[in-house]
Structure 1
Amino acid sequence: MINAQILPTPIGELSVLTRDEVLVAAGFTADPKEMYVRLSPALQAEGLDVVDDLGPVAQAVRAYFDGDLEALDAIAVEQPGTPTRKRLHQVLREVRPGTTVSYAELAVRAGLPRTAARAAGSACAQNLIAPFVPCHRVLPTTGGFGGYYYGVPVKEWLLAHESSKH
């Protein structure tokens, strides 16, 4: 069974979905079904149950928004993808709060050639576990904020929240 909880945050509701206490999806939406339908068919087959408290995951979200910017790092995550995508997602989790990287730099940190910046962008676009896999910390080398699945204002808010605490 996939368990979900909807948590209030300063930038809107965050739906978090777990399976066996491992986070499988998270996103800035008040409807966990929006995240659930992005899961693999195998996970969707397990069903969805909205619960009152996911314990450590909910505590980590509250702590993060209260200023403990590393609280999300302690939560185990799992999402589908090729070995390259999984490596990029792991390296994303190593980008510290209050800092940013370019797509090209993310690719280099993952041991991929600089030309793999497109793969880094794709990994961010397909990320199912925001902000635990912090794709908001990746900015284009051309300037600006680039895109963000939940909207650029959310990305800007997260970056400002993290930089104000460092």
Structure 2
Amino acid sequence: MEQPSYHYAVMARAIAIIDAHGGQPLPLSDLAHAIGMSEAHVQRVFTTWVGVSPKRYQQFLTLTHARDLLRDRHTTLDAAQAVGLSGSSRLHDLFLRWEAMTPGDYAKHGAGLTIRASWFPSAFGDVLAMATDRGLCGLAFAADTGRDAAWADLAGRWPQASFVMDADAIAPWTQAALAGIGETRLHMMGTPLQIKVWEALLRIPSGHVATYSDIATSIGHDRAVRAVGTAVGRNPVSLLIPCHRALRKSGALGGYHWGLPVKRTLLAWESARVAADSAIAPMP
């Protein structure tokens, strides 16, 4: 049986090749040749993990996709809350439990805290995962920044903590996070404003987007859009706390801490999966 790490490697290469093609049509034969596999094999692995064919996926990587999302799947966070997508002990996608570190723990900058870390493969390139005994406290994509920068970024947030490389200890949470199955726990450390912003991000459903001003309004800081944007960028747990779903009012992507190519592919991947789910949903 093919292992998930193998699938991730195929996916990462395929997505990078498609993204580098600049929105121009890329025949399956050319993609398969670039990867060095048969067309049938690439089609099968890609469709299994993304939910749609490589050809269909390309439609979600266009430069106008973010604006299309803002037009068609713009979520106001108040509406998301009304349908039960929030709460202090909420489940995100039914599998994510999270808690914030206490202000005292935050003020200590990790003193007395042991953080276990390791690298894992993903469909979006190498991922650095870090976790306390209570859950993941960091998840960084290194495809754009590089491994050294990703490590310095996450480790620098807890300068007084002790770090131990221990893949086995954090693999269950990390693999559940990357696969979207099983339970993932988060243990977050941030300022009160950052925590509020990250809670707001958790209320944006997969395949949808919100604007930075939506987020500012939802936390009661209408005029603090810039501060909200900074807090979005400081999110230490990529993918699970979906800062990639925050866009500018114009429909522009805005920034992304782990690189705009990763943000673009995450939005495309989620849109493709929503489209695939819609296509197979039973008629009411």
TM-score after normalising by structure 2: 0.50
Instruction: Give the total of aligned pairs.
Output: 156
Query: How far apart are residue 149 of structure 1 and its match?
Result: 1.1
Paired residues of 1:103 and 1:140 also in contact (CA < 8 A):
yes
1:22 corresponds in structure 2 to: 135
Match of 2:158?
A: 40
Aligned residue in 1 for 2:177: 61
Distance 1:76 1:58 in 2: 9
Q: Whose helix fraction is larger, Structure 1's or Structure 2's?
A: 2
Partner of 1:123: 231
**Structure 1 residue 81: Cα displacement:** 2.3
Residue type of the alignment partner of 1:6: W
Q: What's the CA shift string for 1:84-106, capped at 9, x where partnerless?
A: 21111111112111000000101
Mark the runs of 5 or more structure 2 residues left unpaired by the alignment. Answer: 1-113, 275-284
1:131 offset after TM fit, Å? 1.6
How far did residue 53 of structure 1 move? 5.4
1:45-74 CA-partner distances (Å, limit 9, x unpaired)? x2332424524312313413xxxxxx49x5
Deviation of 1:107 after TM superposition, in Å, equals 1.4
**Structure 1: stretches of 5+ with no match in the other structure:** 65-70
Measured in 2, the distance between the counterparts of 1:61 and 1:105 equals: 26
Structure 2 equivalent of residue 75 of structure 1: 184
Deviation at 1:25, TM superposition (A): 0.9
- Please name the residue that 1:4 is paired with: 117
What one-letter code is carried by the residue in structure 1 that aligns with 2:132? Answer: R
CA RMSD of the aligned region, Å?
2.1
Contact 1:85 1:119 survives alignment (8 Å): no
For residue 115 of structure 1, give the secondary structure of its aligned residue in structure 2: coil
Segment drifting more, 48-57 vs 88-97: 48-57
Residues 1:96 and 2:214 aligned together = no
Secondary structure of the residue aligned to 1:77 is strand
Q: Is the 8 A contact 1:107 1:117 kept in 2?
A: yes
Aligned residues of 2:117 and 2:164 also touching (Cα < 8 A)? yes
Higher mean alpha-carbon deviation, 51-60 vs 87-96, is at: 51-60
The alpha-carbon deviation at position 114 of structure 1 amounts to 2.0
Any conservation in 2 of the 1:4–1:48 contact (CA below 8 Å)? yes
TM-score between the two structures when normalised by the length of structure 1: 0.83
The structure number with the bigger radius of gyration is 2
Deviation at 1:138, TM superposition (A): 0.1
Could you say what secondary structure the match of 2:186 adopts?
coil
Distance in 2 (CA, whole Å) between partners of 1:8 and 1:39 is: 23
